[in-house]
């Protein structure tokens, strides 16, 4: 019953937070890495175009991939208990089925051009998103409370729990304090503020980043709010509020949290750029694109209608490389610019598309 009453959120930083990370990273890519990112996301090598494409990619795992495959949900966090030591981190990611394992996996896939069922654009979207996730302190901490999803809050915010406060409320406050309300403006302001730290914020091992975030959660969230440490067994799937009552978040705490979040967001952006720069040290060549080997394939026609001459139209999303048909998948939700029509399932699959998993 406790678990049912405390649904788990995996939306670290919310949409705006992930977009901030993406913009900071785009601003700090080398020319070589930028050419690969532009090629994979299908945009020009212009910095602004790359930033916009990376923003869009950064939120796909929350708004597209998790609905398509719920098994991806544990990939967004790692349950490091508050009493764990650094040596315990690896054991908290059994089978690589957590955010640290997936960062390592998708980094390798992109480096080796060995993509999984989401293709190059999907794999890059996962990596962008997961580097943002791992810098949200509550995505690397557990106190038998699902990363504070079960800790209710008493404040003037709309958030229902402490995790949600850190996911979205604090990011919105940060944007408002910069008087922007826009991820791009906030990202550029944070870049200027923390520019002296850029060189120090190069990519480090994913386990080390997770441990760093866990330590931040201990000191600036749990200890700062006097939340007691509970015996922790992440596999038990227990959802408790260690305090037994709502935690009060006063202005002083929220102001400090704004500063911590801003620092984490820009650090994530710097580190994401560093990681992508390590993956791609040479510019993209003609055989490096996600569609290499399909140069002789006839281009698909962009349409928005459901049928042509009374026949079922199979529509693919040119970004995700997933196709659907009327009544299933995201058929009616695809942006017109991304819609590609095929005469049959076979035609779609010959072009490298796969069927949406929720289609019969």
What are the tens digits of pLDDT across the range 51-97? 999 999 999 999 889 888 999 999 999 999 999 999 999 999 999 99
Ramachandran angles phi, psi of 250, nearest 5°: -90, 175
Contact 341, 290 (CB under 8 A): no
H or E segment and range at residue 196: none
* 130-141: average pLDDT: 98
pLDDT of residue 232: 84
- Which residues, in sequence order, are bridge partners of residue 316? 323, 340
The predicted model scores a pTM of: 0.79
Would you say residue 334 has pLDDT above 80?
no
Verify that 17 and 127 share a domain, yes or no. Answer: yes
Q: Could you list the residue range(s) of the whole structural domain that residue 331 is in?
A: 307-355
Residue 76 CA to residue 64 CA, distance in Å, equals 14
- List the structure tokens of 33: 């890495």
Calpha distance 82→69 (Å, rounded): 30
pLDDT band at 118 (very low <50, low <70, confident <90, very high): very high
Domain count of the chain? Answer: 2
**Predicted local confidence at residue 351, as pLDDT:** 78
Same domain, 273 and 322: no
Six token digits for residue 41: 């996301």
- DSSP 8-state symbol, 301: B
Q: Do 196 and 334 have their domain in common?
A: no
With DSSP H G I counted as helix, E B as strand and the rest as coil, what are the percentages for the chain, rounded to 5? 50, 5, 40
**Residue 263 shares a structural domain with residue 329:** no
CB count within 10 Å of CB 12 equals 29
Last residue of a domain, one of 231, 263, 279: 279
Q: Has residue 82 been placed in a domain?
A: yes
**What is the model's pLDDT at position 343?**
67
Q: What is the pLDDT of residues 4-25, one digit of tens each?
A: 333 444 456 789 999 999 999 9
**Angle of CA points 97, 98, 103, to nearest 5°:** 105
Asked if residue 290 belongs to a domain, the reply is no
């Amino acid at each position: 019953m406790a678990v049912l009453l405390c649904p788990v959120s995996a939306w670290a930083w919310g949409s705006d937070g992930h977009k901030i990370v993406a913009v900071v990273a785009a601003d700090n890519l080398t020319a070589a890495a930028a050419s690969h990112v532009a090629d994979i996301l299908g945009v020009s090598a212009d910095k602004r175009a790359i930033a916009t494409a990376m923003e869009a990619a950064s939120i796909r795992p929350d708004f597209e991939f998790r609905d398509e495959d719920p098994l991806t949900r544990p990939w967004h966090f790692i349950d490091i208990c508050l009493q764990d030591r650094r040596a315990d981190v690896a054991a908290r990611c059994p089978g690589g089925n957590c955010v640290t394992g997936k960062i390592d996996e998708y980094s390798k896939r992109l480096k080796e051009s060995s993509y999984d069922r989401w293709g190059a654009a999907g794999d890059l979207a996962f990596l962008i998103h997961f580097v943002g996730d791992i810098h949200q302190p509550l995505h690397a901490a557990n106190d038998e409370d699902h990363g504070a999803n079960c800790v209710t809050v008493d404040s003037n915010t709309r958030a229902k729990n402490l995790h949600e406060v850190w996911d979205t409320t604090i990011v919105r406050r940060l944007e408002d304090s910069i008087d922007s309300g826009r991820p791009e403006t906030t990202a550029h302001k944070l870049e200027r503020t923390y520019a002296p730290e850029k060189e120090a914020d190069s990519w480090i091992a994913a386990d080390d980043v997770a441990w760093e975030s866990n330590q931040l959660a201990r000191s600036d969230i749990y200890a700062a709010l006097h939340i007691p440490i509970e015996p922790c067994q992440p596999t038990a799937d227990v959802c408790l509020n260690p305090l037994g009552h709502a935690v009060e978040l006063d202005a002083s705490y929220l102001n400090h949290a704004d500063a911590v979040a801003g620092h984490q967001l820009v650090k994530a952006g710097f580190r994401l750029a560093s990681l992508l720069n390590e993956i791609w040290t040479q510019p993209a060549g003609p055989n490096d694109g996600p569609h290499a080997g399909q140069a002789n394939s006839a281009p698909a026609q962009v349409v928005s209608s459901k049928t042509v001459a009374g026949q079922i139209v199979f529509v693919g999303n040119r970004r995700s490389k997933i196709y659907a048909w009327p009544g299933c998948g995201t058929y009616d939700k695809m942006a017109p610019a991304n819609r590609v029509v095929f005469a049959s399932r076979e035609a779609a699959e010959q072009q490298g598309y796969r069927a949406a998993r929720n289609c019969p």
